[in-house]
Amino acid sequence: MFRSILIISAFVLASFVTAEEFTDVSELSKRLDDGIPKILGKHKAPGVALAFVNGNRIIEFRSYGFADVATEVEITKNTMFNVGSISKLVTVWGVMQLVAQDKVELDAPINQYLKRWQIPNSEFDVKKVTLRNILSHTSGLSLGPYVGWDSHEKLSSIVDSLNGDNNGAGPVEVIHAPNTKWSYSGGGYSVVQLLIEDVSGMAFEDYMQQNVFEPLNMKDSTFNITEKVLSKSATPYDDTGKVTGMLYFNEKAAAGLQTTPIDLARFNMAVLRNNDGHYIGSKLLPEKLIDLMIKPAPNTNGRWSMSYVVDSENKSLGFAGFNRGWIALTRSITDLNFGYVILTNSSIGPVSNEIDSFILSTIRQKHN
């Protein structure tokens, strides 16, 4: 997953909206209608959903291929997809509300907020592991991706996962000195999940529903994968195009979000600005905290903020997510106050890469 994140490498910061806001997607839509089926056909990929936004509204939705190939069920605005590690990005907007409420300090030892589990002592200074460096993957914590479970019956608790009961990923521990280098850690976001629960007194999924999904009008998003959610979800396919099963995670903050193209596009708007020049996400967080969240973080070579992957070349912020059967990408092009999401129901990696490049080239040809 880590390598794929670098390949897709989404995304950066602009402190204000320029006059060159991108709002007309008619030409882009025509090119997509011609180009995307060819990309899907070349890779024998089942389907893809796209949604486009500016700072005020959802501009366009397009889908190609099928949610289920055998039955030729089409992808709609309400078709649900797993978005893998984009779950981390959404989680940041939840935990930063605890910072805004002065319930958690960004630079305090994170262990002081954890009640049910503690980061174990090691040869490195555990007191230097903080919320700030966990969010930017510079904490020194172990564990890149999680593989999940094939059955919800295997699920136990986030504490069990932190202790190593997670289908082979291992326990979460400090494996190098904090604040010295960037090292992708899904395990760190499991610590954040525990932090949210221990500080708020709520189940993680309930906290996120109340504090992120509802304020952003994300009506079809959830960390609870129920039979009803599965019935509304696309069928996942592996990297050979064969049907594969759903994956389930104790580590919901790291990999467990199920959402729709429209809902993820609504989330994508959080770092865009409305007609008054304010972040859409200011309904969740003070603007000074949003500025901090999207600023490149120390020890990341300017490529990561405290939440987003930073793409300075394309003046954009975003993230990519990968689980078996799913690949998702979100990108907010801040200088054009424009964003889009790409959701696929397969593990065929080149599809989202090529579609992303296709969209970017069309936009920049028009606006450069």
CATH code: domain of residue 202: 3.40.710.10
Q: What pLDDT was estimated at residue 364?
A: 76
First-to-last alpha carbon distance for the chain, in angstroms, is: 32
Q: What pLDDT was estimated at residue 21?
A: 67
Q: What pLDDT was estimated at residue 361?
A: 87
CA dihedral defined by 106, 107, 109, 110, rounded to 10 degrees? Answer: 20
The rounded mean pLDDT for the chain is 92
Instruction: Provide the residue range defining the domain that includes 198.
Output: 2-367
Total domains in the chain come to 1
Low-confidence ranges of the chain (pLDDT < 70): 1-21, 366-368
Phi–psi pair at 97, nearest 5 degrees = -70, -30
Distance CA 261, CA 258 (A): 10
pTM of the model: 0.92
Distance CA 316, CA 314 (A): 5
Q: What pLDDT was estimated at residue 25?
A: 83
Distance CA 10, CA 310 (A): 6
Q: Quick: pLDDT tens for 11-62.
A: 333 333 444 567 778 888 999 999 999 999 999 999 999 999 998 899 999 9
